[in-house]
Amino acid sequence: MIFLCRGGGSSRPDTVYVAKEFSVKRTHLLALAAIACSIVSVFALLGPAQATVSNTAPSGIRACSARYATISTACLAGALRDFNAARAKEHLGKLILPTNFRSLTVPQQLLVLTNLDRRARGLAPFVGLNASLDTYAARGSAAGTDPAFPRWTRSGGSNWASTYNSLWTEYLWMYYDGAGSVNMACTSSRTTYCWAHRRNILARYGAPRVMGAAGRSSGGDAALYLGSDTHDTTYVFRWSSEARYFPGGRLP
């Protein structure tokens, strides 16, 4: 497979606060899937296991079409094998999806996968999807770039991937984003961009935590993660509504 990369940058660097302060400029990456991210004023330490994570190359998930949102039985089985192999490296349990997962929309699936990855590491989940933030994410998807932040953003991150399949997208952002992955801006000599998508997903955002997400075949998937968001108080999809689809009727 040939991997290509095209570099770019925004006119304004966004700042992330983790163990120390550093600047991150938007990058555009093209390979198996193009991925990009932006981070703004995340006043928190990274989530657990960030420093020791290593790439787990996708294999079973290749049963899924990276450009097709529908999840077949073979796709789901292959993806779960990859997720569980990657999670095992972090000494985490297997990924258990809600029984209605395949019937959810791509944005809803992205919220579920995000929260399952957060909860597996003891991090608080996002409350739900907000219509306004979904619109911001949709603009990023349409433009093929990471979503812009609303003017009221206090802390947050945004991710974009050229894949239009939630399992592919979350897997690349979370488990295949380091040096040697499709994240071509991450190399052994330039590590600033390594695992930036994962950092956005696992940052310790303050409450209320609200997401926006979108996906389209021509533009890919995009997600916006906002912390301390008292502006977006209504939800088009709530995490709590998924409780009945998990074992015992309880959220993870």
Q: Is the dihedral of CA 48, 60, 73, 169 positive or negative?
A: positive
| pLDDT exceeds 70 at position 45 | no
Instruction: Calculate helix-pair angle for 73-89, 166-175, nearest 10 degrees.
Output: 10
pLDDT at residue 193, as a whole number: 81
Q: Give pTM, 2 decimals.
A: 0.85
What would the pLDDT profile of 101-139 be if each residue is shown by its tens digit?
999 999 999 999 999 999 999 999 999 999 999 999 999
| pLDDT exceeds 80 at position 13 | no
* Residue extents of the structural domains in the chain: 14-249
List all residues 6 or more positions away from 212 whose beta carbon is below 8 Å from its beta carbon: 107, 129, 130, 132, 133, 134, 135, 136, 137, 147, 223, 224, 226
What would the pLDDT profile of 160-187 be if each residue is shown by its tens digit?
999 999 999 999 999 999 988 988 678 8
What would the pLDDT profile of 200-226 be if each residue is shown by its tens digit?
999 999 999 999 999 999 999 999 999
Cα of first residue to Cα of last residue in the chain, in angstroms, is 38
